[in-house]
Chain A
Amino acid sequence: MIAPEKMETVLSLSHGAIDCDVHPALANTDVLLPYLDDYWREMVQIRTVENLDLNSYPPAVPLSGRPDWRPPRGKPGSDLGLLQRDALDAFDVRCAICNTLYGGPYLPNDDFAAALARGINDWIAKEWLDRDRRLRASIVIAPENPELAADEINRVAPDRRFVQVMVLAAGERPLGKRTYWPIYRAAERHGLPIGIHAGSSFRHPPTSLGWGSYYLEDYVAHAQAFQHQLLSLVAEGVFVEFPTLKVVLIESGITWLPAFLWRFDKTWRGIRTETPWVDRPPTQIVRDHVRLTLQPVDEPPEPARFERLIDHIGSEEMLLFSTDYPHWQFEGSDVFPAGLSDQHRRKIMIDNPLQTYPRLLEARQEAVG
């Protein structure tokens, strides 16, 4: 329980913020049945796909649900009322972006994966966005068939409550590869950022060294996955081909960024002719095109060091407020690490998300269809 006086602090601290990462949970695949056509409804019913939880977020793992945010029964994040109470109201946010993490879109069968992605988007629109005006969502796609994924973006994008396109941080190929460009072309056309969320479809081991033993290793390794996705996106020239595209790293951790960029800049100086379209230092490209959600901060225990790290990052435009509800990343209302200036905190809560997600500025529209 948060004491009332503490609660007031919460209200004043994050009042009006835009929460860029909350996770409504799909109870099971059957929930999608009303949103599937006959063929896929039959497939879901006769084939054992009722539970396609991602191995990156098994619901019972402590990280997947903060103890005080877990519902009495069911998966963390599966209850709209609790999400409203514990995330939207408790942090007094203006709006929150729903990022649905579910394994369906990562089935190796492209058509099956695409059908479940469609189902998830229609489900989130009807059962979440329609029921709270503060909610927005990411378009879920099955990225390994980029043409089908682009079709899905084109289908859903007219509903302006969808504010970005989301993929997992580790799939079949590095995300900069041209194979995936139909996704970026569609996203850019609709003014949607690409959100890369922590998680893997495990087409490859969780690290380049192979399969470890523990979930903790997998979770820590997400930060390395984000590092190589940034390398890939920049080196392949995604931001040259799609100059207005923004990429948001979601639940990536943030403190690895400066050290990563120091080395990227250095290596680029020596072998930039390998990718001559990268015609300025990677750090500049990343500052212009890439944003990161706040939680988990992975901050040092010493606030003074965190202040230095903010200086290392060298930009106040890059961080976006997030609670990562219902994932267990911080206690109580301590969503901000110590060491941020008031001005920077305001940018993180409001200005940076509005800059990143232009659709958030639009007047609220009713559901399409």
Chain B
Amino acid sequence: MSDTNLTDSAPVQAPPGVVDCDIHPTVSAMSDLSPYLTDRWKGYMREYGANFRAAFANAMVYPRYNRDGGSRMDARPPSGAPAGSDLPFMRQQHLDPNRVDYGVLQPLRPNGIGARNQAFGESLTAAVNEWQIGSWFGPERRLKGSLMLTREDPAAALREIERHGANENFVQVSVLPHGLEPLGRQRYWPIFEAAAALGKPLGIHVGGVSGMAPTSAGWCSYYVEEHHSKCEAMQSLVTSMVIEGVFERFPKLRVVLVEGGFVWVPSLCWRLDKHWKTLRSEVPHLKRAPSEYVREHFWYTSQPIEEPEDPRHMLDAMDWVGWDKILFSTDYPHWDFDDPKFAFARLRLTPEQHRLLFRDNAKNLYGLR
């Protein structure tokens, strides 16, 4: 850690024109979604809920440290509503002081993506999308939406793209990494085809409930393990999409991995390339080394940023991943939030690196002006 942080001088000024690629809005109560649900599904939601493939009806298997799904302790608005549910407070606490020009919404709670009743999942997901319009990027032009899609029901996903794909305020379509099968499997390809045709990136935020253990060796004990397992899952996700040949079939598809880290990307690429050379007879559909697909098709949000003791190590990793591929994100209002004033301060970025990371990469990728 840098001793420069010990200073008690006036607070550092946020850099201007930040694009924050990971902001979590949530509902103050489930009734916020009522305007967008039929009576049938309102009743279903009240009585049965999403019925995820997990032990607890209303809690996470690995309890977080802070309330509101693991939110900053200071992120509840004065009304006491859940962190992330109050737009004026979000403006006051985050968008204004952190000089956010654009923020990309990642609505994870509630979500219908992992609902076992697929008809309910489709309706709830559609409601969450309507609610993004009505309560978030409708009233606040700095916010942009992620069009949430039910990946296990690609037909429903295509209907949702039909409904809202053209809305320019949905800057990406989104699925979650954990589902019934690895995302590269062909059952999911209709979603990729639609995303590529739409010309919008596919945003994949860590999460999803698959019913499978969070590691290939079974159920771990602790949140610290589960937290990290999300990062391993992203490594598996890249592997799956590349090896299955998704990018041979959809060469225009662009994928953003959100909150899954990126410092692991170089090692994964070296490993993929090395063993692909040995095992390429198994995957003749791959015309290029796996790392080339990764380099061309994946982007990564920055939070939670790693903090190696030696800042040069971080700069190495960012050099190797590519300065054009990393998108700044805060994860507001969650506890592992990265503050744009501090998160990269130790690295002493060049003005160009700074501009790419905090603003230009995201603007280019999402077509923001």
Contact = CB atoms under 8 A, between A and B. Distances in A.
B215 A208 contact: yes
A173 B217 contact: yes
Nearest to B306: A262
B333 to A, nearest CB: 16
B282 interface: yes
A267 B228 contact: yes
A220 B182 contact: no
Contact of A232 (B225, B279, B313): B225
Contact of B217 (A204, A259, A305, A311): A204
Given A217-B239, A300-B266, A169 B217 contact: yes
B224 A231 contact: yes
Contacts of B320: 300, 305
Interface in A254-268: 255-256, 258-260, 262-268
B191 to A, nearest CB: 15
B221 A235 contact: yes
Contact of B313 (A219, A253, A312): A312
Interface string B170-192: 00000001111111110000000
In the complex, which range does the number of interface residues on chain A fall in?
35 or more
The residue among B213, B232, B266, B320 with the most chain A CB atoms within 10 A of its own CB is: B232
Contacts of A206: 216
Interface string A222-242: 011101110110011000000
B330 to A, nearest CB: 16
A63 B233 contact: no
Contacts of B221: 174, 176-177, 232, 235-236
B279 A215 contact: yes
A215 B275 CA distance: 10
B217 A228 contact: yes
A221 B275 contact: no
Nearest to B215: A228
Contact of A274 (B224, B233, B271): B224
B180 to A, nearest CB: 6
Nearest to B238: A220
In the complex, which range does the number of interface residues on chain B fall in?
35 or more
B181 A298 contact: no
Nearest to A263: B306
Contacts of B313: 258, 262, 308, 311-312
A336 interface: no
Given A300-B270, A312-B316, A224 B216 contact: yes
A223 B271 contact: yes
Interface string A199-226: 0100111111111111111011101110
A40 interface: no
A220 B224 contact: no
B243 A217 contact: yes
A172 interface: yes
A131 B199 CA distance: 65
Nearest to A255: B267
Interface string B27-59: 000000000000000000000000000000000
A310 to B, nearest CB: 11
A211 to B, nearest CB: 7
A226 B185 CA distance: 24
A262 B346 CA distance: 15
A270 B65 contact: yes
Contact of A298 (B239, B267, B316): B267
B292 interface: no
B263 interface: yes
Contacts of B239: 207, 212, 217, 220-221
Contact of A219 (B231, B237, B279, B281): B279
B227 interface: yes
Interface of A: 61-63, 169-177, 200, 203-217, 219-221, 223-225, 227-229, 231-232, 235-236, 253, 255-256, 258-260, 262-268, 270-271, 274-275, 296, 298-301, 305, 308, 311-312, 328
A-B CB proximity, top 4 nearest? A207-B236, A262-B306, A259-B263, A255-B267
